[in-house]
Structure 1
Amino acid sequence: MFAGIDLGTNNCRMLLGTPAGQGFHVLDSFSRVVRLGEGLYETGRLSAVAMDRAIASLSICAERARRWAADTGTGPLRLRAIATEACRQAENGAEFIALARERTGLPLEIINTREEAELAVESCASLIAKAERRALLFDIGGGSTEVAWVRVNCNGAAPELIGYLSLPVGVVTLSERCSQACYTEEGFAAVVETVAAMLRPFEAVHRIGQEIRQGGVLMVGTSGTVTTLAGVSLKLERYRRGLVDGFFMNRGAVEAALAEAKAMGRDGLSRHPCIGADRVDFVLPGCAIFAAIHELWQIPDLVVADRGLREGMLMRLMRNVRPERRGYGLA
């Protein structure tokens, strides 16, 4: 068995599975909003309350992983647990990691921005393979946004990371800085331009626009923002992963979904079955980040991915582990 735990700025997630064909069979999953990065933009530190929420969820993950390892006959468990932007930014990030390790027994570690981009690419490899030459992948997180420029290999080899960019903005940080501004046309446009200015140096280096004009480039989006817009576009009465993961949207569909999300207002967004009250404050900030990417890089098609770092960790663990190295990854 293999398990991946991803502690982000807003969510704590776990996925546990066994190898199956070219992928894996899910045995257990867990996701909870912990708001670890709440107040981080203002104070530069993780609050005691936020750390307690995160550790409580990590403890649930650890207990469930231990139970699977003890109660099933599927063999030993190999586990990896990572933390991302909130812990990278916080003055007390390393202190929190030490405390979480002590209380949960999990081998929690902070990963750098490059590995975060690599794991996102790994999780979406089967979707990236649908591109003819290149793929532009983005992952709008709670505290940061990762952008990966990827070469697609026609010989069946894994996609290659040409370059990556990590923006220090995500749905949580933007919601704390300018959530209300996003509800007006002028405010939304200002946020889009702010994000676009952060993206332009990456464009200048890699000349992605020129590659797009040559054709064969696919955009891949993996985040709650993009899956929400897919749900809006599909008119879902409840969120259905099977319909969203791998869903293709052309530019017209993307622009229509963005316009519909903006027109709903806060009350309409909170009532939408693919959003809800607990995520409503993050929708339009995420849409502003996505709109900046969408406007700067005029790629004809977007493929939506309901997958992320947990899936990337499992795929990497399954590929890299040797039989003699397998072992239970919890203290």
Structure 2
Amino acid sequence: MKPAEEIEIKDYTCEAHTPAIAAIDLGTNSCRILIARVNIAALQMMYFRSRPRQESWRIIDSMAKIVRLGEGIHDCDELSINAIDRALEALEVCKQKIDLHNVRYVRAVATEACRRATNTQILIDRARKELNLDINIISPSEEARLAITGCAAVLNPKIPYALVFDIGGGSTEIAWISVGGRSQPRRPGYPVPFSVIASISLPCGVVTSSEQYGDKSFTIEACNEICDAVKEGLNGFFECNDIDYYIQKGLVQLLGSSGTVTTVAAMALDLQRYERTAVDGASFLVSDLDQVTQKILNMTDAQRFEHPCIGGGRTELVVIGSAILRGIYDRTKLDTMRVADRGVREGILVDLMSEVLRSNV
């Protein structure tokens, strides 16, 4: 391999030097795809620099569609035929985008709804037969790892430990990680190294909890129950890893991702419409976020529907999500929290970039 300073940075013109990669995240509530084009030569140079080069990769297409794959799963532990059809319709759009961009590296993952359902194989088989897409059902620990990998760019390298969480449709993943240190591997595009110490998957997701409480989802009583369930679920995890000790020493940062977290952050910033660049990586006082979660609970359904940062189709989910969020920051007792508008898809892309490098040594 040539020394870093001698590697020529080619433009995004030849697909042999700039392959496209794609990440699909089929969750309990939504189906998302992110497609990027990678500049191999520039990517190789990342390993010789402290910060990534802008030319190394760029997003060229994306999509997010609500499919409610986990609808009804709380009652019967099965994916409904209608939910499977909705998921396949979204996956068909993903496949069209993959073909359009001549994507060479693809990974598609499914999370809690597919882990829980007893008939998931129907969806897997149909996706393979009808769309030629292989869907990989990942474990909670792998989901947490991918989410952290995707969020790693906004970690504070000066704080040695972090609690990183992702509030999903079917579960909430929380990881306890160490940040920095030369022993951790460097990842393409993400200069902040980390190592997962432990993780936990709480059975509290915005879709499943919403179905569990039904019409009571909007009540203060239901939200308090959810908040208390999250705190109780974290107690053993904190005790096993002595997390409270590190928090008291001021050695822990809190980082959250998910639609709920970014929505609450956007409202805390008083944005008139959602702006990813304003939210991603921003740091907030937990007291400010708490005011927003209380405001969301006190709003009418019509007010939540009309709010530009919430919108239709998410009014009940953001209420449940706010209760889960409150449970997390109440248990940690941390004063600040950083927000990431990124997660599993970005984590998959980072893994795929490593695969691209291995294939082009």
In 2, the alpha carbon distance for the partners of 1:322 and 1:246 equals: 27
SS at structure 2 position matched to 1:294: helix
Query: Could you say which residue in structure 1 is the equivalent of 2:62?
Result: 29
1:323 Cα deviation after fit: 5.6
Aligned twin of 2:37: 18
**CA offset at residue 184 of structure 1?**
2.9
Distance 1:202 1:324 in 2: 39
Runs of 4+ aligned structure 1 residues displaced above 6 Å come to none
Show CA shifts across 1:61-105 (max 9, x none): 011111111xxxxxx621111111111000101222111111111
AA partner of residue 10 (structure 1)? N
Going from structure 1 to structure 2, the CA distance change for 1:189 and 1:103 (only over 3 Å counts) comes to same
Q: Is 1:151 aligned to residue 178 of structure 2?
A: yes
Is 1:260–2:295 an aligned residue pair? yes
Q: Does 1:181 align with 2:200?
A: no
**3-state SS in 2 of match to 1:321:** helix
The alignment status of 1:106 with 2:133, answered yes or no, reads yes
Larger Rg: 2
2:349 is matched with 314
Q: Which amino acid aligns with 1:176?
A: E
In the alignment, the residues of structure 2 paired with residue 175 and residue 58 of structure 1 have an alpha-carbon distance, to the nearest angstrom, of 25
Deviation at 1:24, TM superposition (A): 3.1
Unaligned 5+ segments in structure 1 are 70-75, 327-331
Instruction: Indicate if the aligned counterparts of 1:128 and 1:159 stay in contact, CA closer than 8 A.
Output: no
Among 193, 198, 205, the alignment partner of 1:163 is 198
Q: Which amino acid aligns with 1:12?
A: C
Deviation of 1:186 (Å): 2.8
How much has 1:173 moved relative to structure 2?
0.3
Q: Which moved more, 1:263-272 or 1:102-111?
A: 263-272
Once the two structures are superposed, what CA deviation does each residue of 1:137-156 show, in whole Å capped at 9, x if it has no partner? 00000001100001011449
Q: TM-score, normalised by structure 2?
A: 0.85
How far has the Cα of 1:300 moved from its partner?
2.0
SS in 1 for 2:166: strand
Counterpart-to-counterpart distance in 2, 1:148 and 1:133:
14
Does structure 1 residue 46 correspond to structure 2 residue 79?
yes
Is contact 2:284-2:338 (8 Å) kept? Answer: yes
Quick check: 1:129–1:159 contact (8 Å CA) kept in 2? no
- Contact 1:131-1:218 at 8 Å conserved across structures: no
One-letter amino acid of the structure 2 residue matched with residue 262 of structure 1? L
**Matches of 1:131 and 1:222, distance apart in 2:** 20
Q: Verify: 1:283 aligned to 2:302, yes or no.
A: no
Give the length in aligned residue pairs.
320
The percentage of counterpart residues that share the same residue type is 38
1:135 equivalent in alignment to 2:158 = no
**Unpaired segments ≥5 residues, structure 2:** 1-19, 44-51, 185-192
Query: Given the superposition, is the C-alpha separation of residues 179 and 293 from structure 1 closer, same or farther in structure 2, using an over 3 Å criterion?
Result: farther
Shift of 1:272: 0.8
Alignment correspondent of 1:7: 26
Check the 8 A contact 2:147/2:343 in 1, yes or no: yes
